[in-house]
Amino acid sequence: MQHQSSEPTVTQQAAETLDGWYTFHDFRRIDWARLKQVDASVRSKMVQEFQAFLAELAQVEEQKEGSHALYTIIGQKADLVLMVLRPTMEDIQDVEVKMQKLDLYDYLIPTYSYVSVVELGTYRGSGEGNPYENPYVRDRLYPILPKSKHICFYPMSKSRRDGDNWYTLSMEKRKELMYRHGMIGRSYAGKIQQIIGGSTGFDDWEWGVTLFANDILQFKKIVYEMRFDEVSAKYGEFGEFFIGNRLESADLEAHFAL
């Protein structure tokens, strides 16, 4: 007869989150071989149409109803990334469909995408009153993306390995670990701006992390330093990293010139 353990299963308390704008990262590779076959005047019109589309996004940003950022990607994983923030997932899809209808997008091959929602954890508490009325919290949940020179994006999850399972730790232990982890991040204030996207149930990983900086070396420094912290060293699992340089709308004509 099989022996059954009499010890009860302990379900740990889930950390509450504050959720803001939905986010979409659209990574594309430029099909230069096909684009070279397009007449220069036609290619110029394609770029102008794309610039008009970006101008529409800029108007939304001016009205503080969303934000966006366009960057090149270094290496062979992609050539471009457009990051978009919007109040609803329907708004995100509307932007995605508009992009797909652009003539230039026939020559931009999708290589990767990521969907999430801007998230703030409440391990340190959210203060008194309605946190969504706190100006600091609102700036974090509904951010206007910085015009920094460089971007870094990577997805990550917390481990669920036997013996190193984040989700079986007590709330008290997770609070302690996240406080120390957060102190490292705060030491880079003024050097890096971070956007955390919660993606559990939305995409393949649990978070998408986007970093912005004017000194690209700061990405290496913060990620390396955090690797020695227990939250990353013991419980962190990471996907691919994407880094790139800011691409202004006014520079698109030169970027696509052949």
The residues annotated with a catalytic role in the active site are 154
Strand extents, DSSP E, the chain: 17-30, 67-72, 80-86, 108-121, 150-158, 160-161, 164-165, 193-198, 207-213, 236-238, 242-245
Neighbours of 256 (CB within 10 A): 18
Contact criterion met (CB below 8 Å) for 68 and 145? yes
* CA-based nearest residue to 26, from 47, 54, 45: 54
HSE, CB side, 13 Å, CA atoms: give it for residue 253: 8
Token reading at 238 = 């990471």
- Distance, CA of 8 to CA of 187 (rounded, Å): 42
Token reading at 172 = 């008290």
HSE, CB side, 13 Å, CA atoms: give it for residue 192: 22
- Tell me which residue has tokens 């770029």: 47
* Type and span of the H or E element at 153: strand 150-158
